Structure 1
Amino acid sequence: MFETVNGEWDLRITPKASELKLHPTGKNFFIICEVTNVSINSHPEIQWYKNGKLMRAEEFMKIKESPSFHHKKTLFIKNSTIKDSGAYACEASLDGLHRTIKFEMNFHVPFTFGKTKSLQYAKSGRDARIFCKAQGVGIQVEWLYNGTILETCSRKYKYEDQNRTLVIPSFCSCQDNGTYTCRVQQFGSYNSINITVTAREVNL
């Protein structure tokens, strides 16, 4: 039996489970599961599970730079995809004791702005529709005009297609020409695209 430091050993993961819930696809992840509060000579058994099944050895990397690397087993998720979503668990055994840390990881495809045009035209005196063709799961769209959120402006605007289409009633170049920003939020991350809008006179 190996010596523990100040009593029973403990188990932790880095990053914390609360920081692993939701991420965009396409990124690499290193999740370290480590037995702590043990002597350097102890050799705990550490296993990773996904959806209740023991994971393959080739899905792990050991931190060899540390003299106590045998206290750790690192889960490496390379170029993450939707298929990497699931219920994960790190389980450790030492001195007849067992510890488990469970957490969920979910991956989503980052949204795109599709074929949104950066220059769009309106007809003076008519309702203008400005299109932001954002595509993705869980997106929320808001609009700005010359850096100001439209909802705070005195000008009355309308929205269609889950806010992806901005309707400017009775477009007037004297007050409506300028730069409109389509700002998109997806699970706490933001990105935006600027759209220059200018009037075209209506031929009678």
Structure 2
Amino acid sequence: MSHLCYIIDASCLEKGIGNVKRWCEPSQATKFARLNLYIPTFTLQELDFLKYRRNSYTAKEALRFIDRADFPQNIDMIIEFPELLDTIIWSDVLEHQVAEVAEYDVKGNSSRSLPRRLKNLLKSCTYKCHLEGSNNQHWVLVTEDPQVRHLADAFAIPHCSLVTADQEISKKLDKRSFQQNIKFSDYLKKKSVKDTTNGKEVYRAKFDQVMYANRGPGDLWTP
């Protein structure tokens, strides 16, 4: 089974709430060992802004989806505690900076300082990708925002688009389905007799070993 870990950005939910909902459907979720979805404080605040200031129906739908409590057992929807951000020192985030961000002053307090909301997102992503380090989980930020992607690159945060995440999940599901078919085929071979017909190997089922469910009382219908 597959184990996937995604940090969900607001733009991902705004543009692809249908995709994320589909990932969490019970019929899909059973094909994963676990699907972890981390919701940063940034994401909630951005969705709130879109809901109340822009009257965005999609943002409302995304917030309702996050608030639901009936996710399948192997879907772990992790909503970040806002207090966590206060425990992450900005200097720890800067230690993971690998490229300059020309449009912002990420180290000082000037007119070009990085907005607080983006600082919070970087804190959340740095914590999950670099600082937490639990169970060797590989977290990937899913975002459709070019500005967020640029910042993620500058701070060595793995990221992908919604389409890429969707393709990865589909690939995992197809692989799981293929593995199940292989196991079923091997099982049939063990329960069959090998024979040769027209020079080709075939497997004939042993019907005398088939176990049937008990039939209820009653008479068989005859025309």
The verdict on a shared fold, with TM-score over 0.5 as the criterion, is no
TM-score of the aligned structures, taking structure 2 as reference length: 0.19
TM-score of the aligned structures, taking structure 1 as reference length: 0.20
Q: Which has the higher strand share?
A: 1
Q: Which has the higher helix share?
A: 2
Higher normalized contact order (CA 8 Å, seq sep 6+, divided by chain length)? 2
The structure having more radius of gyration, on CA atoms, is 1
